[in-house]
Amino acid sequence: MSKYLLSVDPGKHHCGVAVFDIPDRRLVSAELVKTVDLRDFFLSLWCRHQIQTLVIEKPIRRAREQFKMDDLISLAIVVGQVVAIVNAPEVVYWAPHEWNRGKPKEVTHGRVRVVLTVMEKEKIRMPKAVKTLGHNVLDGVAIGLKWLGRL
């Protein structure tokens, strides 16, 4: 049975989630999941894939950004829920600058589109509200690609 990587860009209301086959280093699926649906989504995912590694963005407060402390706490709770539900043998927490090196989203997402094969691009299920929520899915993919050394 193949081992899988789960990469997650967490959010208060939605998470960008990507699954990669570790030995093949290929994207299996990517989509947006409502935070309220995380438990059911990850339990059904666990039935289909043996998740070996979870790579998830950890919430941090950046000095130049205005954050409400409640939002940061809510985000940390979502991260904790994902880690507890997935229960992967290996968990990696990355701050945003650790996986995207401080590049603008447009640059990172452009690199994702170049790196993915046509077949991998077909595995991405973008939300209907692509302009406002699609970046979460692409961030989830980018986190996984970075861990696999493809980005």
**The tokens 């939605």 sit on which residue?**
14
Where do the structural domains in the chain lie, given as residue ranges? Answer: 3-147
Q: Which of 91, 90, 87 is nearest to 43 (CA)?
A: 87
Its pTM stands at 0.92
Per-residue pLDDT tens over the stretch 18-46 = 999 999 999 999 999 999 998 999 888 87
Number of C-beta neighbours around residue 141 at 10 A:
31
Q: Which fold has domain 3-147?
A: Nucleotidyltransferase; domain 5 (3.30.420)
